[in-house]
């Protein structure tokens, strides 16, 4: 229960900083992911355990990328239709691979949901590193699925966290979209 609460609080704080476009998010994420990986492994959510390890490594990468632009204005990016299509195809392929591995090699009782949320989370994290606004749409969908899965697996604080994340994903999208609109207006002057 302590890991659930601590991981939840740090994850929530990290997401708040992501919405604010603040690089502290990556630093807090490092601690949150270490705690969450232990929690998920203890609950038999194996793909999420590996995902948290991926997040841990990716947090260092994201921090590096965001530090490169530390002195410049935060610039939101968009994907073209062909880029989004390729990303969707890669995410689908990743889902299928993860699902197969979970079904074949683990005792997971939520293999389909675990594989889906893991594949979507990898895509969402990649989009976050590169400041692509669609990250928030991906996180909205992913977190809604996670909320259900964690409720089912009796991890109450994380279920509530995912519910909050769905709301925060909307706030993140609106904040980043307004930043992009402001940037476009400044560029047109």
Q: Return per-residue pLDDT of the chain as tens, 189 residues.
A: 899 899 989 999 999 999 998 999 999 999 999 999 999 899 888 877 988 999 999 999 999 988 887 656 668 888 999 999 999 999 999 999 999 999 999 888 899 999 999 999 999 999 998 889 999 999 999 999 999 998 998 988 889 989 999 999 999 999 998 886 666 655 655
Which of 175, 168, 178, 144 has the alpha carbon at shortest distance from 16?
168
Q: What is the pTM of this model?
A: 0.84
Residue 167 in tokens: 């709301």
Q: Count of CB atoms within 10 A of residue 22's CB?
A: 15
d(CA 15, CA 17): 5
Residue 127 in tokens: 């989009």
Q: What is the CA radius of gyration of the chain?
A: 17
Phi-psi domain of 154 (left: phi exceeds 0; alpha: psi -120 through 50; beta: other): left
- Euclidean distance between the first and the last CA atom of the chain, given in angstroms as a whole number: 54
Which of 40, 69, 55 has the alpha carbon at shortest distance from 157?
40
d(CA 136, CA 21): 13
pLDDT for position 103: 94
Length of the chain: 189
């Amino acid at each position: 229960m302590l890991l659930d609460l601590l991981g939840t609080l740090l994850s929530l704080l990290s997401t708040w900083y992501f919405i604010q476009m603040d690089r502290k998010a990556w630093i807090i994420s490092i601690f949150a992911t270490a705690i969450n990986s232990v929690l998920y492994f203890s609950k038999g959510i194996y793909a999420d355990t590996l995902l948290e390890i991926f997040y841990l490594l990716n947090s260092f990468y994201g921090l590096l990328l965001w530090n490169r632009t530390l002195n410049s204005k935060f610039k939101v990016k968009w994907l073209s239709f062909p880029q989004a299509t390729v990303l969707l195809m890669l995410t689908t392929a990743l889902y299928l691979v993860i699902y197969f591995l979970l079904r074949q090699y683990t005792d997971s009782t939520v293999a389909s949901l675990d594989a889906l949320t893991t594949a979507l989370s990898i895509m969402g994290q990649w989009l976050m590193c590169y400041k692509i606004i669609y990250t928030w749409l991906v996180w909205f969908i992913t977190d809604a699925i996670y909320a259900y899965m964690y409720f089912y697996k009796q991890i109450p604080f994380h279920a509530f966290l995912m519910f909050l994340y769905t709301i925060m994903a909307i706030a993140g999208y609106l904040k980043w979209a307004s930043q992009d609109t402001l940037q476009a207006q400044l560029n047109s002057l």
